[in-house]
Structure 1
Amino acid sequence: MINSRALLVTFILVVSFMAIAVKLFNIQVLEHDRYAKIAKNQQDKALVIKAERGMIKDRNGDILSYTLNDVSFFVDTRMLSQTSKGRIAAKFSQVFSKSEKHYLHSMESTKGNVFLERKVPREKLLEFQNFIVDGFVSVDDPTRNYSYGNLASHLLGYVNSDLIGLDGVERTYDDYLTGVDGLLYVERDVQGRIVTVKDELSRKPRSGNNIQLTIDTKYQKILEQELKKGVDNCGAVSGIGILMNPNTGEILALANYPSFHPSEYFKVNDKIRRNRALTDTYEPGSTMKALTMAVLLDNGLVKEDEIINTENGRYRIANANIIDINKYEKLSVREVLEQSSNVGITKLSERIDERTFYRYLRDFGFGNSTSISLPSESAGFLKKPDYYSTLSKPFISFGYEISVTPMQMVAAFSSLINGGILYQPRIINKIIDEHDRVIEQFESKRIRNVISQETSERIKNLMFGVVEHGTGKLARCSNMLVGGKTGTSQKYIDGQYVKDYNASFIGFFPADKPEVVGLILINSPATGKYGGIVAAPVFKRIVNRIVEEDINVIPQRISFTRDEHTLDQLLETAFSNDEPVFLQTANIGEVVPKIEIANQYSGRITMPNLVNRSLRDALAILNEMGLRYDIKGSGKVVEQSIKPGTEITSDAVLTIKCEDNNMLRTLGIF
């Protein structure tokens, strides 16, 4: 019995030893490579070193967007004892000034990986230099930072949590901004601690390239602040503003209001996030008259002093009545543009061949995207002559039956005043690598010549007159001569035009040699509604501030009062090197009493008497004073809520009651 048991034990031991020997032979010989690889992977580890995303700067080198090298801390609760949790909670409470209970609750309420602090400055990592607890880990967690908050948010765009660009420049130039991640090969011990770094296998990260934009931060701040003020003053829904160099196509500033913070893009809806200067189209209204007039001039179809019968402000064509707000029996061609006469421009447009008109509008860039290097741009809509009705050409001549983006309008308008050249709008100046070497330089791109140099000078002259004695009088500046065109258009909603408006002004300065062209578009103003009332004052304030802050715009500061003798002297000096036609046809000696009255109220701190003034005069005064207001009715002012002579407080809102003799029942237009 004993011998049998001994033999059985011996047999089992032999068999076991042979099984172990076979297994060892299998591991060490037959599958040596496989198990060696597994051991190596456990011992050696390739750690990814995240490359820093490139910066976005303005034209002067101011940093607009950059990456913070933040870190995040987490624990694997499955590896933590109660003692370890207590140590971690005490340490984090000390470093981040939160209670220990806060961190203990986080660790005990969830199993697995639990983040204790996210995206904290890298300097905090030094506090944990000698703090070693199994299951406690720190990881790189970079954050995209926007130096000026909401500033230029629609241009810059934003990134997701993985720092991938989702909109704006961040999206379009994501490949340039994204660097090449590095690799750090390390050898670990059995507890997972780094023993050595294998430099020969490691690779340093390469930072992304830096993008320099064409925008100027100073201009951008001014535009955004004044656009917000303009929208708020008239109770509008939103606003768009663009400032552009007409001689190069460089965008100097672009703003949408309301705006958003790029780091918190997920807190607002798509309507606020989208860059409406590129994505949204509108019927431009009377700003289109400047382009129509340029076509007429370029083809020799009109002369500035030619007299047009404007039919006392009412003209019937086909089955439609074309109406002017201000009724004139006759106007010169110059005055047709200055007074924004629908009747006048309709009659003049009859002289243009339909296909010629369409060709010019295409050449101005309508119906095609501008190809600016920003996402989601719309091409707008330009009707082909084959589909024109009897009313199409006259309606297009004053800005209906055509839809454009604000960017298209600024580009087209620039060609009117720069000698006739259409430039592609440009937002990027250059791309630079981490060593300040230029990777790519972007130059201005001339698309085509649209009108002649002579026509450009003549239309520039006419638009100077619009501001000096026409519908753009509220854009007049005391230290700068400007030109421009007002625009107001009713919105087409559910198959009909409704009493909801887009009010706009496009202007340029200095008037003799334009360096900046700007568009202000106010969406659905609750009061004022006309471009000359709500948009022109915004442009004026922008010009005034730019002149004060940027000496390069006009090296010699000037100030003048508008009477015939002074203006003649001023223009003789300012335009002495320009074409004679400008001086011959400017009509600069006229005095416009209404604007002289409005200018008297700039800076006033007591309430003026508005009773018996026209609504337009009252609004001119209130806009000049920067006072918020609410209007009831239309026509002449019959009552005001704040008595004349009362000191005005910063939160004051004036209610004025008006009585009207005539209600506007047609397409409203200036």
Structure 2
Amino acid sequence: MAEVRFKGRIVVLATVVLLVFTAIGSRLAMLHLRPVDWVVRPIMEARSFESKPAANRGRIVDRTGRILAMDTPSYHVCIDPKWISEHGDPVAVARHLSDEFRLSEADLAGDLAQTHREYTRIKKYVSGHQIKRFKRMNMGVVYTPAELVGGVETNIYLKGVWFEEAPIRKYPNGPLMAHVVGFSNLEGIGSAGVELRMNEYLRGKEGYRKGQVDGSGREIYRTREMDIPPEDGATVELTLDSWLQYQVEKIIEKTCHDFNAKAVWAIVQHVRTGEILAMASFPTYDPNRYSKAPEEWRRNRAIGFNYEPGSTMKAAVIAAALDHDVVDEGDVFDCEKGYWVYGGKALRDSHGEEDLTVADIVKVSSNIGTAKIALEMGNQMVYDSLRKFHFGERLDVGLPGEEGGIFYSPKHWSKISITRIGMGHEIGVTALQVLSMMNAIAYNGVQMQPYLVKRVVTPDGTVLHENKPEVIGRPLDPPAARRMQQLLARVVMEEGGTGTKAQVEGYTVAGKTGTAQKIRPKEEGGGYYSKNFTSSFAGFLPVENPEIGIIVVADDPGEYTDSGRKINYYGGTVCGPAFQEIATMAVEYLRIAPGGNRVYVARPQE
């Protein structure tokens, strides 16, 4: 009887065991062969991965192909504190990473102690050179210290350490052309200059990758569902020439120091195409360390600084008077021996003259003579004529931060405004506007669109955007422009002209000096400073067949004598010599013949 009961228990126990294993097997079969959604979802989520590979930002190059801005490989140093605490050696990780990357070992130990975290970035933007002692391995890196251990090179496996790719923007020429090229921030977004204006072309398109990983976190390539590679940004080709730009930057820096100016800026432009060949401003900055520079140093004064131009404006007003047959070169005006009262306000010349022809008014830069010519023209004619030169509006050269100047309509003028606007007061301009006006005179009355982006090209050679010479106006008829060219040549080439220091040996140069008192802010009482000036010289050469136009502007140059008198601040004194140096260098480099002929392709000097 007992034996029967024992056998029955065995059968019951075996049946229970069989049922249990049958249930487990059925459950396993169901989970593996026909798993339900709530089982599958977390598993797939844990194994799936998505990434968005970053595209390289496009390059910026000059007209010769020299690289001005480019992405270079760099990396973020990252750790997984949780993984290191479970599988690695936190002490070794902290010691070796602190030694190699000059980090605080105590701070690293604090990061490693946060074992609930799986991702911590401990060092940003290290170069490939800085990680040369590390070799990537599964779930970590192999580190080879510089010091030998017992005379033998040692490899140390640091689990939970890896390097995250993070391209960084580099400007290999440092400050060269900084105000034109600009910079992009650490997020790869253009923030100034061409980097900002052409950001849509430069930034490229990030890729997209979707797939699965194994238990060690490695991608299973055969399960990759989608792989869209990133598209690198396009290359932006500028019209500027690096060698020419470098020489201009050196010259204006020297001018700034020699004449104690607050700032100096200059532009070199091709007369008949509108291409900007050089655009420089000093003080400058290094876009590789843009955050270290004062904001004012990052300002592109060539296009972003409004100033009263002074006597360079006389070229536009008198050219317009000739164009409208209001005056002729030989007409004579009484210049009142340098002192004249009109509308209850006195107007002075730096040198008193009596009767002067229109030609000599230009040559010696008479304020009184120009004011009387402007009165002959009348308010509306003066206003319309200057508007034809595009004063009072942006020229859209292709950079952010461009100012449009300040030029009010005649309804806002006082009785004496016309006498002041003709000599370059009561009007705000940029250097680019003045040079564009001067080049219009040089090009027989045709004004060209200034531009500095030549074209935009994708990595595969497709041209996305291209600028070509474009006429934006004809402010003067050719005969009047040619007559004005000769009058401006007398300013430089004849004794007694205000611009004789701008002469270039072997070439005929035309141009105009400008010296204007700076405006005193309202909070300081308004009006004009008596000893603070903006000085300039704008001109072109060769007069026979103009090829290049150049402008140089200096903010508050000069020095004081022991008696408190200010000297060496006139445009012809400060900016004329700088123009001469730039022009002498440019005609040699660009191979411009004395008769003009043509500009040869710029190339490095032999």
Question: What TM-score range do you get, normalising by the shorter chain?
Answer: 0.7 to 0.9
Query: How far 1:576 sits from its partner (Å)?
Result: 12
What letter matches 2:515 in structure 1? T
Q: CA deviation at 1:77?
A: 2.9
Gaps of 5+ in 1: 1-12, 557-573, 578-670
Counterparts of 1:360-509 in structure 2, within 5 Å, are 360-469=385-494, 470-494=497-521, 495-498=526-529, 499-509=531-541
1: CA distance between counterparts of 2:249 and 2:503? Answer: 20
Report how many aligned residue pairs link the two structures: 544
Structure 1 moving runs of 4+ over 4 Å: 19-31, 89-94, 197-200, 574-577
Q: 2:125 aligns with which of 102, 107, 118?
A: 118
For residues 275 and 77 of structure 1, what CA distance do their matches in structure 2 show? 47
Note closer, same or farther for the CA distance 1:340–1:462 as it changes in structure 2 (3 Å cut): same
CA shift for structure 1 position 358 = 1.0
Deviation of 1:313 (Å): 1.1
Which residues of structure 2 form unaligned runs of 5+? 1-16, 143-156, 560-567, 599-606
- Whether the aligned pair in 2 keeps the contact of 1:106 and 1:116 (CA below 8 Å) is no
After TM superposition, list the pairs within 5 Å mapping 1:50-449 onto structure 2. Answer: 50-81=54-85, 84-88=89-93, 92=97, 96=100, 102=103, 104-110=105-111, 111=114, 113-116=120-123, 118-121=125-128, 124=131, 127-130=134-137, 131=142, 133-196=158-221, 198=223, 201-449=226-474
**Alpha-carbon contact 2:388-2:473 (below 8 Å) kept:** yes
CA distance in 2, matches of 1:369, 1:334: 31
Q: Is the 8 A contact 1:72 1:120 kept in 2?
A: no
Q: Give, in whole Å, the separation in 2 of the partners of 1:106 and 1:324.
A: 70
Deviation string, structure 1 residues 615-634 (Cα, Å, up to 9, x no partner): xxxxxxxxxxxxxxxxxxxx
Q: Provide closer, same or farther for how the CA distance between residues 60 and 34 of structure 1 changes in structure 2, counting only shifts above 3 A.
A: farther
**CA 1:228–1:575 in 2, change beyond 3 Å: closer, same or farther?**
closer
Contact in 1 for aligned 2:321/2:377 (Cα 8 Å): yes
Counterpart Cα distance in 2 of 1:198 and 1:360: 71
What is the CA distance between 1:433 and its match in structure 2?
0.6
Distance 1:61 1:423 in 2: 25
Deviation (angstroms), 1:89: 5.1
Relative to 1, partners in 2 of residues 1:33 and 1:278: Cα closer, same or farther, differing over 3 Å?
farther
Listed one character per residue, the Cα deviations across residues 186-212 of structure 1 (whole Å, up to 9, x for unaligned) are 432223233436556212211111111
* Structure 2 CA distance for aligned equivalents of residues 247 and 117 of structure 1: 48
RMSD across aligned C-alpha pairs, in angstroms?
A: 3.1
The Cα shift of 1:124 comes to 3.5
Alpha carbons 2:271, 2:439 under 8 Å: kept: yes
- Structure 2 contact 515–571 (Cα < 8 Å) conserved: yes
The 2-side partners of 1:434 and 1:301 are apart by: 56
Counting aligned pairs with the same residue, the percent is 28
CA distance 1:468–1:38, shift in 2 (3 Å):
same
The one-letter code sitting in structure 2 at the alignment partner of 1:302 is V
Alignment-mate amino acid for residue 517 of structure 1: G
Secondary structure of the corresponding residue to residue 377 of structure 2: coil
Query: Residues 528-539 of structure 1: matches in 2 within 5 Å?
Result: 528-539=568-579
Residue 545 (structure 1) aligned with residue 545 (structure 2) = no
Match of 1:518 in 2: 550
Confirm or deny: 8 A CA contact 2:511 2:539 kept in the other structure: yes
Given that 2:547 and 2:596 are in contact with CA atoms closer than 8 Å, whether structure 1 keeps it comes out as: no
SS at match of 1:501: strand
Q: Give the equivalent residue in structure 1 for 2:562.
A: none
Mapped to 1, the partners of 2:190 and 2:31 lie a distance apart of: 49
CA distance in 2, matches of 1:524, 1:27: 83
- Tell me by how many angstroms 1:106 deviates: 3.9
The verdict on how the C-alpha distance between 1:28 and 1:195 changes in structure 2, with shifts beyond 3 A counting, is closer
* Distance change in 2, residues 1:315/1:503 (3 Å): same
With the length of structure 1 as denominator, give the TM-score of the two structures. 0.76
Quote how far apart the aligned CAs of 1:475 are.
0.7
Q: Tell me the distance in 1 between the aligned counterparts of 2:77 and 2:553.
A: 47
Larger mean CA deviation between 41-50 and 192-201 belongs to 192-201
The alpha carbon displacement at 1:307 in A equals 2.5
Query: If the length of structure 2 is used for normalisation, what is the TM-score?
Result: 0.83
Give the CA deviation at 1:318: 1.2
AA of the residue aligned to 2:514: G
Q: Is the 8 A contact 2:95 2:105 kept in 1?
A: no
Quote the offset at 1:395 in angstroms: 0.5
